[in-house]
Amino acid sequence: MKKLRLGSSDLEVSEISLGCMRMSSLSKKDAAYVVENALDLGVDFFDHADIYGAGESEEVFAQAIDMNPSIRKKIFLQSKCGIRKGFFDFSKDHIISSVEGNLNRLNTDYLDVLLLHRPDALMEPEEVAEAFTKLKAEGKVRYFGVSNQNPYQMELLSKYLEDDLIVNQMQLSLLHTPMIDAGLNVNMGNESGIDRDNGILEYCRLNNITVQAWSPFQYGLIKGAFIDNSDFPEINAKLTEFAEKKGVTNSAIAIAWILRHPANIQPIVGTMNPERLQHIEKATNVALTREEWYELYRAAGNVLP
């Protein structure tokens, strides 16, 4: 497994991360197998959130690996906060209490990375900064980032922070590419030319912020996977063609497509199937040419200007 550096931090982590949203559905034994398999493959970065399984995913994870100082040194833990039932909350009190909950459920003294989840329209950046400063000073969080934020939201927050934001977690897959579409259709009057995020991909590259790709196999927001989905024959035919050519699976090609981008994007893979992760992990050694990358992009239904 290749490594990448998260943003401007000193964290050297696995190029592919395991997302633990669905871990609450597993038994302790099955969850242990999932995590041990990931570590055997070189996947050492685990993505959580306080809302995953209403907190149970973090608990199952900690129980599954029998969290202790020895195992903690081998892994990197990221969690997220800010989503509450019916609203978003970036208040100082909520951020601090959320982290206390994260740490308690994960049975650890610190998070490597804390992300603010969906943007809070009522965010007061001074409060967020106070929360971050306190959490870092107490050794409870090493680094901070965001999820689903645009450049000006990040700029507003950064104005008050002592440390750099190192991550922005955004939805990205072959069937969800607005970050890329707008950059290819500059000054065009078509649908793809609509800039929905104010150039977030370029902003993150300019500011040394790692983009993490969530739902890398999904189309739409929560509609489902496009891999082996008969509704998407063209992209699956192209994935199969390249998978056979490279000696890997369709899923590995879909991840290799994300890894090929020069922004050094880190895919967050949410599979709880150890065998599937074994196949996906091979993407880290798949080299796609520029032409192949664009072939996949076009097969996903995109038209170049």
Mind telling me the catalytic residues? 52
Tell me the Cα Rg of the chain: 19
Residue owning tokens 């195992």? 71
Give 191's contacts (C-beta < 8 A, 6+ positions apart): none
Nearest residue to 84 via CA among 113, 51, 106, 59: 51
d(CA 207, CA 120) in angstroms, rounded, equals 22
Strands in 97-226 per DSSP E: 111-116, 141-147, 165-171, 210-214, 218-219, 224-225
- Rounded to 5 degrees, what are φ and ψ at 284? -65, -20
CA-based nearest residue to 267, from 304, 189, 221, 215 = 215
Neighbours of 52 (CB within 10 A): 22
Alpha helical stretches, state H, 2-160? 28-40, 56-64, 69-72, 92-106, 125-137, 151-158
- Residue 214, beta-bridge partner list: 171
Name the 3-class secondary structure at 17.
strand
